[in-house]
Structure 1
C-alpha cells in the first residue's frame, strides 16, 4: 500500500467524479488534501460550517477566470503552509461544432483552453516558483485524456487540443526540472464511470453500448483505478518515469 503520511496535496476539481476518487485515495494513503472546487458547496463535507474531515480542507476558485490558477495556488499554499504535490484534475468538456456561429465557436475554444490548459499551466508555474524558492522539489500529476493522444469526436476539437497541450506541458516540465527534484506525470483516461458520463449515456440512446463495444476490456474506466495511479505517482517512488503519460482506457487506444 502506498503511504503518503506527511504529504500535502492540492487536487483541483476534487469534489466529484475522478477528482473525488483521487481525494479519497490520497486521504486513505495518509495525505493531507486541499480539495478545490469552483464554488463552496451548499451541502456535504465541504459546505460552509461543516465539520468536514481532519485530513481535507476546501479551497474555492473559478478556473475560468484569467489568473485564477496562480491565485488558487497562493491561497492554498498559504493555508497549508506548503504543498508537496499538485494534481491538475479540473476540466470542462464543451462542444465546438463547425456549424456553431463564430462567436459560440470562439467562446468554446477560449473557455476550454482557459480551464483545461491555461489555469493548469498557471498552477504548475506557481508550484515550480514556490518549490524552487524553498530549494525543494515536488510532484505534478496532470489529468489529461485519451483524446490528447488519438483525438476526439468532431465537435470536441478544443477539448482534445487542450488535453494534448497538457501532455506536452507535462513533458516539458519533466525535461526542464527533473534535475531540481520535480517529477511530472500525465494520466490519460478514456471514458470514465462518473455521474456526468452516465448523464450523457442516459441522454443518448445507444451511446453506452457503442462506447463499450470499442473497449476490449468490456467496460469503461472506474474512477478508483485512475485514483490509484495518481496516488502511486504522488508518492515519488517512480522518479525515472517522469515525463510519462499513463493510459487507462481498457485497451481502446494502444500506442
Structure 2
C-alpha cells in the first residue's frame, strides 16, 4: 500500500470529480490535504469534516490572478502547522470546459477562450511557479498536472480551447521537469480520457452518445478514484525518474 505520511498536498478542484477522488485517496494514504473549491465546496467539505486533523478547504476563483496567489498563501499558512511544515506537493486538477465553436457568436468564443486560458493554463502556471519557488527552498517537492487525451488528439470544434489549454499544460509540465529536476522538484502529467465524474456520466450514458464509449476498448469511462490512485503513485516517490512523463489513463482509447 502506498503511504503518503508526512506529505502535505494542495489539490485544486477538489469539490467533486477527479479532484475529490484524488483528495480522498491522498487522505486515505496518510497525507495532509488542502482542498480547493470554487463555486461550491461539495465533497471537499465532506472530506474536511471526515479528516478534521489532516484536511482543510480553501475557496478561490482561479480565473482571477490575485485569487491564485491568495489560494497558495492560504494553503501554505495552513500547511505550516502540519508535520511537513509547508506544502510538499501540488496537484493542479481544476479546469473549465465551456462549449463554443467558431460558428458561434464571437462574444461567446472570446469569453470562453479567455476563461479557459485563465483557469486551465495561467492558474496552473502561476501555482506551479509558486510551488517551484517554495519546493526549491525546501529541498524538493512534486507537482502533478492533470491534462487530457485531448491535448494529443484534439477535440471537437466547440472544445478547441479546452484541447489547446491541455496541450499547453503538457508542455508546461515537461518544462518544469527539465528545468528543476536537479533541485529535487519533480513534475508529472496525467492525461485522462473519459472519466465517470458527476458531470460527465449523464452525457456518456445518454443512448444518443453511445459513440463516446464505443471508442473505448475497455467499454467504459475510468472511475475517478483510478485517476486518484495514479496521482498518489506519482506523489509517492516510487518513480522519481519518471519526472516529465505523461501517463495516459483512457481505457486504451488513445496512445501518443
1:66-105 deviation per Cα after TM superposition (whole angstroms, max 9, x unaligned): 2332221111111111100100000111112111111211
**Alignment match, 1:219:** 220
Q: Mapping of 1:148-187 within 5 angstroms?
A: 148-187=151-190
Shifted more, 66-75 versus 183-192: the winner is 66-75
Q: Please state how far the C-alpha of 1:44 moved relative to its aligned partner.
A: 6.4
Alpha-carbon spacing, 1:111–1:15, altered in 2? closer, same or farther (3 Å): same
Alignment gaps of 5+ in structure 1: none
Cα gap change, 1:254 to 1:40, in 2 (>3 Å): closer
TM-score by length of 2: 0.92
The reply to whether residue 198 of structure 1 matches residue 197 of structure 2 is: no
User: Following the alignment from structure 2 to structure 1, what is the Cα–Cα distance between the partners of residues 171 and 201?
Assistant: 30
Q: Deviations over 1:46-81 (max 9, x none)?
A: 27x967632211111111112332221111111111
Corresponding residue of 2:251: 250
When residues 149 and 8 of structure 1 are mapped into structure 2, their CA distance, relative to the original with a 3 A threshold, is same
What secondary structure is seen at the aligned counterpart in 2 of 1:196?
coil
SS at match of 2:194: coil
CA contact (8 A) 1:87 1:142 kept: yes
> Residue deviations 1:161-187, cap 9 Å, x none?
000000000000000000000110000
The residue that corresponds to 2:148 in the other structure is: 145
Q: Secondary structure at the match of 2:33?
A: strand
Distance in structure 1 (CA, Å) of the matches to 2:114 and 2:140: 32
Please show how residues 47-86 of structure 1 align to structure 2 within 5 Å. 53-81=52-80, 82-86=86-90
**Distance across 2 between alignment mates of 1:21 and 1:45:** 10
Equivalence for 2:83 = none
Q: CA deviation at 1:201?
A: 3.6
- Answer yes or no: is the 8 Å Cα contact 2:204–2:213 preserved in 1: no
Could you tell me which runs of 5 or more consecutive residues in structure 2 were left unpaired when the two chains were aligned: 81-85
**Structure 1 length normalisation: TM-score?**
0.93
**Alignment partner of 1:128 is 2:132:** yes
Q: Which residue of 2 aligns with 1:232?
A: 233
Whole-angstrom distance in 1 between the partners of 2:196 and 2:75: 29
| Alpha-carbon distance in structure 2 between the residues aligned to 1:242 and 1:51 | 32
RMSD across aligned C-alpha pairs, in angstroms? Answer: 1.8
